Structure formats: C-alpha cells, structure tokens
Amino acid sequence: MLILGIESSCDETGVALVEAMGSGLPVLRADALHSQIEMHQAYGGVVPELASRDHIRRVLPLTEDVLARSGTRLDQLDVIAYTRGPGLAGALLVGAGVACALGAALGKPVLGVHHLEGHLLSPFLGGDPPQFPFVALLVSGGHTQLMRVDGVGRYQLLGETIDDAAGEAFDKSAKLMGLGYPGGPALARLAEQGDPKAFKLPRPLMHSGDLDFSFAGLKTAVLTQAKKLGAELESRKADLAASTQAAIVEVLVHKSLGALDRSGLQRLVVAGGVGANKALRAALEAGCARRNWRVHYPELHLCTDNGAMIAMAAAMRLAAGVQTGDRSYAFDVKPRWPLAELSRLT
C-alpha cells in the first residue's frame, strides 16, 4: 500500500511516500522538503500569511518530485495523508485542501494526521525503531510534553509545559542575544564554544515533584543577564548561550528520567525539533546508560517537521486498525488539538 504524506503545519512544506507491506514496518520510498526559514528570517519569526502562500507554491512541485524519484504514478497511490493539526490554520488548510483534492480526483481515501503523533512515531522510520511501550519526550517549537505510549493511538499525557515550549526557550533566548531566527540551532552552535557553568540560570520546576515544565522564567533570567552584561555581552555571548542550553537540557533530562522511573518503562523516544540538539542527546544518553535504559531518536533530518513522519503515522494508524481513510473529502483542520484527545476510534 502506497501512502503519500503532506506536512504544512508551520514553516516547512514536506511531502513523502511510504510503502506499507504485510506485517513489517512501513518503508520510506522518497521524501522532499522545502524550508521557509530564509523567507521568514527578515521578520525574526514565522509570518503566518507568508507561510500559507509559500506552502501553496511548493506543495505540488514537491509532490511531483517525490513521485518521480520513487517511480510512482499518481494513480498508484492508495491513501493521501495530511497534517490536520495542530498548527497555523491557514498553513494547515493548504495541505488539507491539496490532500482532499487529490483524494477526490483519484477516488482514494484521505487521512488527517496529528502533527505530534507524526513526531512521536518518526523514530520508526530509522534503523533502530523502538518497541512499545515507551516514554516519549516531545520537544518542538510549540510543544514540550512527556507521554506514555503503549501503542499506536494509545497516548497518556504525563506532563507538559505550563508556559513556553523548550524550542521557544531556545528561540526567544537566541533572539535577545541577536542570533536571528530560528534561534535553536544558532544558539546550540554558539554554545559549543562557551562555558555552560559561566552563568547561574534558573532550572524552573526542576524539583516540583511532577513532570511539568516551565520555561518562561528562564527567558526572563537570560534577558536580565544580558542587560547586566551590557557592552560585555558580545564577548560573553558563547558563555551565555552555553549556560542557557545547559539549563534547558538539565530540566528536560531530569524530567525525562523521572518519567521513566515513575512509569517503570525502560525506553525513551525523543522527538521534535529540539531533539536534534546534541547536548540534549548526549545528556540523555549518559543518564539512560547509567540505568540500562535505551534512548531512540528519529534520524537527524527527520527531527524537524517533514512529510515522512506524516505518511508514517498514517501507515501505522491504518496497520493498527485505529483509523481508516475518509472518502467524504470534507476537510477540516484543528489548529489546536491536544494529542491526548486522539482516541483509538477517530
């Protein structure tokens, strides 16, 4: 069965083709991605209307590219999957509209996928897929959540951020250090040359006794520190970046290990854009290795938004029988959509 996946929830247009065969895991046949980062850079963040218009320009050429590279004709597709939410409403509508139009024209079912479920299941695309059950740390620009995952569609929220997401903490701290957009990768690069112990920054909710996060206070502390440094900031920027990254990583690692401890599970899956962070990976590896726990990641290029994870999540939902394709083609999107609301029967 051939499943086309379309991702357009934010600032990346992603299209991919996944093939599901028998009882094995679905296999990625081709994927294509266009990042809008350069376009939004001038504004210091994502401009929703520009994002929607660019998705419109990119989605069909990317689809043609994926079909050509995998040697597939349009009429060979069995299911068209798209990101139904959460995300920017206008951006989501582009992917949903194209998927439903393709489905209607081909007479094939369409399937709306939860963006975070895509991230969550993205490690199944790699050479080292996890086994259920596991704890998932979802760390992206919009979300920071710990979930217990017992199977496809069986997600239990263990804890989440009460304000900013981890990616936002990276991005906002980077912005006030003048590092541009998106700040996460830039801050991480600069941090490699700095001393993570140079500045004492707060570890919010670290010892709260639950699995929730809070990052808004950290950003304020970084701002205060930057102001205190004044003209000295330029020469101490790498130290401030390293200290900021260390604070975010320490909290994420502490809570992730806490989630494994409490749930009695021994596998951790890390997904979402911040999962690409090397310091986070190293600290999680070290923490889990000490306890004989395993950490699974998506391949590095599949950490940030992409179409492959959407096609994969659709394939796994179909294979698990938790969802069937829809032929009404009455598309709707869910800009706000808690993952825990994904019932087994949707």
Among 90, 103, 183, 298, binds ligand KG4 (CB under 6 A): 183
Give the sheet arrangement for strand 12-19, strand by strand. Answer: 27-35, 12-19, 2-7, 79-85, 110-114
Sequence-separated (6 or more) residues with CB below 8 Å from residue 90: 48, 49, 51, 52
Residues 181 and 41: beta-carbon distance below 8 Å: yes
Per-residue three-class SS string for 268-321 = EEEECHHHHCHHHHHHHHHHHHHCCCEEECCCHHHCCCCCHHHHHHHHHHHHHC
Number of residues that bind ligand KG4 (CB under 6 A): 19
Taking the complex as a whole, how short is the minimal distance between the CB of residue 305 and ligand KG4, in angstroms? 4
Q: Does 13 bind Zn ion (CB under 5 A)?
A: no
Give whichever of 36 and 63 is closer to ligand KG4, judged by the CB atom. Answer: 36
- Binding to ligand KG4 (CB under 6 A): which residues in 303-322? 304-305
Interhelix angle for 278-290 vs 233-263, to 10°? 40
φ, ψ (nearest 5 deg) of residue 304: -85, 175
φ, ψ (nearest 5 deg) of residue 166: -60, -40
Taking the complex as a whole, how short is the minimal distance between the CB of residue 109 and ligand KG4, in angstroms? 26
Distance CA 104, CA 107 (A): 5
Interacting span for ligand KG4 (CB under 6 A) from 39-47, 56-64, 152-160, 183-191: 183-191
φ, ψ (nearest 5 deg) of residue 233: -55, -45
Interacting span for ligand KG4 (CB under 6 A) from 24-32, 140-148, 225-233, 332-340: 140-148
Q: Does 85 bind ligand KG4 (CB under 6 A)?
A: no
Q: Does 83 bind Zn ion (CB under 5 A)?
A: no
Query: CB under 5 to 8 A by kind: which of Zn ion, ligand KG4, none does 184 bind?
Result: ligand KG4
Q: Does 70 bind ligand KG4 (CB under 6 A)?
A: no
What six digits make up the tokens of 310?
Answer: 């959407």
Among 26, 112, 184, 258, binds ligand KG4 (CB under 6 A): 184
Among 48, 109, 185, 338, binds ligand KG4 (CB under 6 A): 185
Query: CB under 5 to 8 A by kind: which of ligand KG4, Zn ion, none does 171 bind?
Result: ligand KG4
What six digits make up the tokens of 29?
Answer: 């046949």
In the Cβ-directed half-sphere of 157, how many Cα atoms lie within 13 Å? 15
Three-class SS state of 339: helix
Q: Does 8 bind ligand KG4 (CB under 6 A)?
A: no
Query: CB under 5 to 8 A by kind: which of Zn ion, ligand KG4, none does 170 bind?
Result: ligand KG4
Among 13, 63, 83, 140, binds Zn ion (CB under 5 A): 140
- Enumerate binding residues for ligand KG4 (CB under 6 A): 10, 140-142, 167, 170-171, 182-185, 188, 272-274, 276-277, 304-305
- Enumerate binding residues for Zn ion (CB under 5 A): 140, 305
